[in-house]
Amino acid sequence: MTKLFIKTIIIIWAVFIAFKYFTNLNADSTDDPTSLSTEFSDITSSRKTAITRAIEKVSPSVVGINVTQLKRKRGNLQLDPFWGLYYPKDKVYQVESLGSGAIISEDGYVVSNAHVVEDAHEILVTLPGGIRLNAELVGSDKLTDIALLKVDESNLPFTELGNSDDLIVGEWAIALGNPLGLFDVGYEPTATLGIISGLDMDFGLKESGRVYQDMIQTDASINPGNSGGPLVNSLGQIIGINTFILTGGGYSTGSIGIGFSIPINRVKEIIEELKKHGKVERDFSTGVHVQAIDSYLKQYLRLPSTDGVIITDIEKLSAGDKAGLLIGDIILEVEDQNIKSHTDILRVIDEGFKKVGDFVTLTIWRDGNVIELPLELADRK
């Protein structure tokens, strides 16, 4: 009985001590409003990170792009009442499309994808806040899928272009733009966050006639409408232009975390050409005519193999003539890539983003010897 009484007294005493402790703790907190204010300030400041600062910095320069395209469709045959002949009547109709862009100078230059503004009849650029401006197409380069627009405004917010040669796989990446036309709802760009998933991703020459080489891969969500918008690093610099995604196939057309951006260093080169000339001149001529080598030609000419293409003609005073090429030379490689046909040569030139005035290195087999010759891509006159 005595033991039970002692235990009860100890328990009551422990409860009393605990009650006094927590009462004093609460009183101290209530009596010191500075501690509450400091705690609230710490929480607020911790919400602001390098990511939120980068988004805040870049967002004012991100625009939505609305494009009206004119498409032609072959109609049914109609009878000409005067000549009694049937002729096809084309139908012209409008198609509305959308995309994104980034202001890159205070005088109104906007960079986007060429496929966003392809066949554009009218281009409208929506600034953050909802102001809409007509945009002029300064020029576009289909091969690299880069377009440069211009709006007639000054003192516009713009974003610094970074260095895409200095990227690290795993660093933060932010995709900003106009997915699914949401820019027209909130008049602000949408931001999604991911990392740099891969670098130097090569897809080569596509059926569309565009070349996607050295692409930046990211898992930041990119959806229809994001094309042409900026990919940004945590410093608030544009490191790429969001261009396309891979989907899960079937009925899936949205992001599955595999998106690709054109590296900004390539964009810099192209927009300078577009500013100066309105296009990148890729209509070159070499004056060299070639033919694939089959087993019969190999046997007839006693060639070592069917590798390469044989030069069958060279126009006088052409780039090929000036390079020292001869009829009968066999082109084995162009830019260290094996050649089997004329189209292989064009593919290598396109995938190297070569333009008029650039040189390519040819590896030639001539009289049993292998030599290298530089060939200029001359202007077609």
List the catalytic residues.
115, 145, 227
The two structure tokens encoding residue 336:
């260290």
Taking the C-alpha atoms of residue 128 and residue 191, their distance in angstroms, rounded to an integer, is: 13
Q: How would DSSP label each residue in 253-308?
A: -S--S-EEEEEHHHHHHHHHHHHHHSS----EE--EEEEE--HHHHHHHT-S-S-S
Q: Do residues 188 and 326 lie in contact, with contact meaning Cβ atoms separated by under 8 Å?
A: no
- Give the DSSP letter string of 75-126: EEEEE-TTT--EEEEEEEEEEEEEEEEEE-STT-EEEE-GGGSTTEEEEEEE
Q: For residue 137, give the nearest of 120, 154, 152, 153 by alpha carbon.
A: 120
Sign of dihedral through CA atoms 182, 266, 381, 342?
Answer: negative
Residue appearing with tokens 């949205």: 254
Task: For residue 107, count other CB atoms closer than 10 A to its CB.
Answer: 14
According to DSSP, the β-strands at 190-201 and 215-218 are: antiparallel
Measured CA to CA in angstroms, residue 184 lies from 56, 67, 174, 175 at distances of 19, 13, 20, 18
Q: CA 320 to CA 364: how far, in whole Å?
A: 13
Helix (H, G, I), strand (E, B) or coil at 172: strand
At residue 258's C-alpha, the angle toward residues 254 and 260, to 5°, is 105
Q: What angle do CA 199, 60, 161 make, to 5 degrees?
A: 35
Rounded to whole angstroms, the Cα distance separating 373 from 367 reads: 15
Q: Is 336 helix (H, G, I), strand (E, B) or coil?
A: coil
Alpha helices in the chain (DSSP H): 2-31, 33-47, 50-58, 183-186, 264-277, 295-301, 319-322, 342-351
Task: Return the SS3 of 45.
Answer: helix
